[in-house]
Amino acid sequence: MIEQLSLTNIKAFRSADLRLAPITLLTGLNSSGKSTVLQSLALLRQSYESGTLLSTDGDSDSRGGFLLDGELVELGTGQDLLHEDFVRTEPDEPDPTITVEFRTDLGRTYSWSARYSPEDDVLPLTRAAFDTPLAELPLFSRHFQYLKADRIVPATTYPRSHHQAIGRGFLGARGEHTVNFLRHHQQDVVPDGPLRHPQARAHTLMDQVVAWMQKLCPGVNLAAEEIPGIDSVRLSYGFGGTAGLDSTRRRRPTNVGFGLTYALPVVVACLSAQPGSLILLENPEAHLHPQGQTWLAYLTVAAVAAGAQVIMETHSDHVLNGLRIAVKDGRLPASSTAVHFFRRHGQAAEIISPRMGEDGMLSDWPEGFFDEWENSLEQLLD
């Protein structure tokens, strides 16, 4: 598990050290640096998969680079990435360096620095420091999911890529391979533990997905099937029955509420997580009603209780309160949580990190931190 992330000269961060927990919530106003935290980890993964990140046994004479534009993130060129008020880590450096570093719960530190080049979308490494094979880390293994805010939308078909959904076990950064992954793995058994929903008809992945989706939309069921003769798969919804195709009249995603399809990749990512998995989520609550947002928080807590690490960017007080209730109810210890509030001061980002107690209460409630309801209520009562 990653327990500390350090960023230097990246976008809103001149220098930042961030504690990460089994479940970490990144909150704050727009353009305050939340997404950069997720993007920095995705940047390492993207560079590793492309072969441009140093991925040998740590030979300091080998050089790779940060791949800024790829499957997971599209960050532009060096001038889009470098913090405007950058710091030089060495006084005699000809160019500033951009550094991503993290420490695991085993006390091992992994660090990469790349030289700034304004027009390049691959920044050459100047330093890479690690002492174990990267493939052993969840960030670089198949036990990794990253779901961006702009996820799949209701459509008549979705891609059927064996390499992505089955070979890599990857849902896609937009969740575009979720339907095919679910089609292929629908009979897999969700292990006994916190992820199993007590109201599910069976322990299969499909039945568990249906049970959790019904917390977002009561009575819904779904089916994922291949379309013969073409490289596509079909998703359909039903209401009032079970998971089978004959349960009720099937409906296309385009004829069903937007939020169901948008939330499906998040549900599948959590239910398919293995112990030691790393899941990065941007705005999992998007297009869901408040009750659905709270239940989605409960699902991420269940994934963490089953052994995954979840780092989540959210604008939802319902997600925050779902986490607080889960801690108060004993589903997760407070020590397994981290909450960070980001806000801007000019070009720099400030991070405030209230601590959560076992009663779900927070040690600090800074101005701008989910206080709009109280502000509005005060105006209404004035």
Distance CA 141, CA 132 (A): 13
Average of pLDDT values for 326-349? 91
Task: Please report which confidence band the pLDDT of residue 143 belongs to, taking 50, 70 and 90 as the band edges.
Answer: very high
Distance CA 5, CA 86 (A): 18
pLDDT of residue 66: 94
- Three-state helix/strand/coil letters over 108-176: CEEEEEEECCCCCCEEEEEEEECCCCHHHCHHHCCCEEEECCCCCCCCCCEECCHHHHHHCCCCCCCCC
pLDDT of residue 60: 41
Distance CA 378, CA 4 (A): 38
Q: Which pTM does this prediction carry?
A: 0.92
Q: What is the pLDDT of residues 33-46, one digit of tens each?
A: 899 999 999 999 99
Average of pLDDT values for 224-250? 77
How crowded is residue 160: how many other Cβ atoms within 10 Å of its Cβ? 20
Q: What is the pLDDT of residues 284-303, one digit of tens each?
A: 999 999 999 999 999 999 99
pLDDT of residue 89: 67
DSSP states of 197-215: -TT-SSSBHHHHHHHHHHH
Task: Tell me what the pLDDT averaged over the chain comes to.
Answer: 90
pLDDT at 91 over 70: no
Distance CA 310, CA 336 (A): 11
Which is higher by pLDDT, 361 or 249?
361
Per-residue buried b or exposed e for 11-27, using 16+ beta carbons within 10 Å of the residue's own CB: bbbbebebebbbbbbbb
pLDDT of residue 63: 56
pLDDT of residue 52: 83
Residues 6+ apart with CB under 8 A from 279: 144, 145, 146, 147, 269, 270, 273, 300, 303, 308, 309, 310, 311
**Class of the domain covering 1-143+275-382:** alpha beta
The token pair at 351 is 């991070």
Q: What is the pLDDT of residues 176-230, one digit of tens each?
A: 999 999 999 999 999 999 999 999 999 999 999 999 999 988 889 999 999 988 8
* Domain boundary assignment for the chain: 1-143+275-382, 145-272
pLDDT of residue 248: 57
